[in-house]
Amino acid sequence: MFVRSLSAGGSIKEIGGKAYRLSILTRYFNVPTGFVVTTKAYELWKKERKLPSEVVDEVERYFRSPYLLEGEFPVIVRSSATVEDSPKASFAGVFESVTGVNSFDALIEGIERVFESATSERVRVYTERMGITGDVKIAAIVQREITPELSGILFTRSPLRPDKALVEFVREKGAGLVGGRKSAERVMLPRNPNEVQDELMKELLTIGLEVESLFGKPQDIEWVYDGTLWILQSRDITALKVSKEENLLIENWYPLRGTPASPGIAKGRARFVLDDQPPEEAERLFHRGDILVTYVLHAEHYNLFTKASGIVTKVDSILSHPAIIARELGIPCVVGVDVEVIRESDEIIVDGSNGIVYVRNPRKILRNVELWRCNYEEDEVVKRLRSEYMRALEELSPEDLEKVILKAFSLIRKFYPSNQDKAFNIYYFINELMEEVTPKVLAERFNIVDIFSHADRGERPRNKEEERLFKIYRLLKAFINYTDERVRDIPGMLFRIQ
């Protein structure tokens, strides 16, 4: 394998320093989606000074992946050398970056230009001056290119006034600032977000201090803003001399509370998998017995779930795909957890029976990650479907629920593609009803985690009411996971997922 998604991570030897740090940042912050062409591909390029066909083919698969860039331009190609962003030197601006890439041929040329820059005279002189010996290996990062309103640098401690944070920014595309080609506006900030009035600067400082806490040192953070604040990279400030701050380690287990979704207890290493990671890659890189930590994942990651000893999710639904599959596999699962507090590879305990995740060393956060939520308009069609669905749910009628759900999917087919907005409106609505509304309504009357777990273990219902709940649960699982023959065409039709 010569390519891997950015969020999959890897060693510095495989993906370089910049990509290594970005892969960590993807777990907690907004980082543009992308993938990494590894140092293994660079070694092949060095032999012929051309990317071999097997690397080009793999780049194309990742570029066109529906989990990543979906074949859409423009993209940017950036360097990630094994010596880059290291404790000794940042290599800022030394390697090549290629912006405004708008065709696949230009993408391959951009990757080769980045690889070529590792052999440049500029790199040789810089490494000698910094006392760095040995071969320089390089990977190439391919990311969606952001066209920002603002772009700049945040020093979480100013090189001149370490008690302050320093922001430098320009009001157009950001390459000129890092390359020194544009004059920047400069703002000195207190290191307390509560003392900052401007909302964007407050958000930037808050994120910066979290990144500083994550890496344990003051940071030089490259960022852009297009209505969303994106982190492009973060380096330790190599030229700053400040007194070492005390790291406070929590000796006892710290509880993170969520919603119990599958009973049992598991202990293991936390491993993040994000939903932009292709399932085959995620499964290959995940260590059997680790704890799967995610914001939200879907049914196509089933094989990955089978390798986990426990699952923790940010999305708060016991009818989400991870929760359903955890119960099927008989492993503990807790949903609705602030997973951004968990550190990658830390040892954690998942108590699925009580809805608690225990961590040793929680990451300090100053704001929570907000999950994207599907929005739908409450039009007449939706109102009518809602009324029928809620009545069937109140009566615990699996037959009537089935009719309403099939009606909704039939309407989606009717309106797609001639009226895509209406089709997606119904799609988002019916999925929210099944995955989020239904478990909350049923939880007011029943211990549904216990009942659903009994159903997944193949046990017989204990009474007539439980028999109906078993049928409702199995019905919803089949529709949510699209295993029911009558709705298997929906993911392919709407999202081109087979």
Domain ranges of the chain: 3-144, 150-236, 254-359, 380-495
R_g over Cα of the chain = 25
Please state which of the four CATH numbers 3.30.1490.20, 3.40.50.150, 3.40.50.620, 3.40.50.720 is assigned to the domain occupying 3-144.
3.30.1490.20
- Write the CA distances from 98 to 51, 111, 171, 380, 391, integer angstroms: 17, 8, 20, 50, 57
The pLDDT of residue 130 is 64
pLDDT surpasses 80 at 374: no
pLDDT digits (tens, 9 = 90+) for 218-243: 999 999 999 999 999 999 885 554 43
The pLDDT of residue 247 is 34
Which one, of 176, 390, 367, lies nearest residue 168 by Cα?
176
74 preceded by cis ω (within 30°)? yes
CATH code given to domain 254-359: 3.50.30.10
**Per-position DSSP letters for 395-429, written without gaps between them:** TT-HHHHHHHHHHHHHHHHHHTTTTHHHHHHHHHH
Q: 356-359 and 347-351 as β-strands: parallel, antiparallel, unpaired?
A: antiparallel
Q: Among 16-25, 204-213, 244-253, 396-405, which is the least confidently predicted range?
A: 244-253
Please compute the mean of the pLDDT values over residues 332-352 and round it to a whole number: 94
The pLDDT of residue 110 is 96
Count CB-CB contacts under 10 A for residue 495: 10
DSSP category for residue 39: H
413's tokens: 């087919």
Q: How confident is the model at residue 402 (pLDDT cuts 50, 70, 90)?
A: very high
Q: How confident is the model at residue 123 (pLDDT cuts 50, 70, 90)?
A: confident
Percent of the chain with pLDDT over 70: 89
Please compute the mean of the pLDDT values over residues 112-130 and round it to a whole number: 79
pLDDT digits (tens, 9 = 90+) for 43-78: 999 998 999 999 999 999 999 999 999 999 999 999
Q: How confident is the model at residue 193 (pLDDT cuts 50, 70, 90)?
A: very high
Stronger pLDDT, 478 or 239, i.e. the higher one: 478
The pLDDT of residue 92 is 58
- Residue 283 has phi, psi (to 5 degrees) of -65, -40
Q: How confident is the model at residue 256 (pLDDT cuts 50, 70, 90)?
A: very high
Domains 3-144 and 254-359 share a fold: no
417 preceded by cis ω (within 30°)? yes
Stronger pLDDT, 367 or 140, i.e. the higher one: 140
CB 153 within 8 A of CB 169: yes
Please compute the mean of the pLDDT values over residues 108-118 and round it to a whole number: 94
**Per-position DSSP letters for 340-361, written without gaps between them:** GGSPTT-EEEEETTTTEEEESS
| Nearest-angstrom CA–CA distance, 277 and 66 | 10
pLDDT surpasses 60 at 90: no
How close are the terminal C-alpha atoms of the chain, in Å? 23
CB 24 within 8 A of CB 236: no
| Nearest-angstrom CA–CA distance, 229 and 170 | 14
| Nearest-angstrom CA–CA distance, 279 and 300 | 7
Q: In sequence order, what are the residues at sequence separation of 6 or more whose Cβ sits closer than 8 angstroms to the Cβ of residue 284?
A: 1
pLDDT surpasses 90 at 438: yes
Count CB-CB contacts under 10 A for residue 74: 15
Please compute the mean of the pLDDT values over residues 187-208 and round it to a whole number: 96
Task: Please list the helix, strand and coil fractions of the chain in percent, rounded to the nearest 5, in that order.
Answer: 40, 20, 40
The CATH architecture that domain 150-236 belongs to is 2-Layer Sandwich (3.30)
The pLDDT of residue 497 is 54
Which one, of 222, 239, 146, 125, lies nearest residue 177 by Cα?
222
| Nearest-angstrom CA–CA distance, 231 and 122 | 27
The pLDDT of residue 301 is 84
The overall average pLDDT reported for the chain is: 87
For residue 412, the Cα-to-chain-centroid distance in whole angstroms is 29
pLDDT surpasses 90 at 180: no
**Per-position DSSP letters for 180-203, written without gaps between them:** T-S--EEEEEES-GGG--SHHHHH
| Nearest-angstrom CA–CA distance, 137 and 91 | 13
Q: How confident is the model at residue 176 (pLDDT cuts 50, 70, 90)?
A: very low
**Per-position DSSP letters for 455-468, written without gaps between them:** HHTTPPPSSHHHHH
pTM: 0.72
- Write the CA distances from 257 to 139, 305, 337, 460, integer angstroms: 39, 22, 6, 31
Stronger pLDDT, 105 or 169, i.e. the higher one: 105
CB 60 within 8 A of CB 71: no
Count CB-CB contacts under 10 A for residue 289: 13
With b for 16 or more beta-carbon neighbours within 10 A and e for fewer, the 384-413 pattern comes to ebbebbeebbeebbbeebbebbebbbebbe
Quick one: angle between helices 398-415 and 380-394, nearest 10? 160
The pLDDT of residue 186 is 84
- Write the CA distances from 175 to 221, 238, 383, integer angstroms: 14, 21, 49
Please compute the mean of the pLDDT values over residues 106-121 and round it to a whole number: 92
Could you give the strand order of the β-sheet that contains 34-37, starting from the edge strand earlier in sequence? 3-5, 34-37, 138-144, 75-81, 98-101
The pLDDT of residue 324 is 85
Q: How confident is the model at residue 86 (pLDDT cuts 50, 70, 90)?
A: low
Count CB-CB contacts under 10 A for residue 182: 16
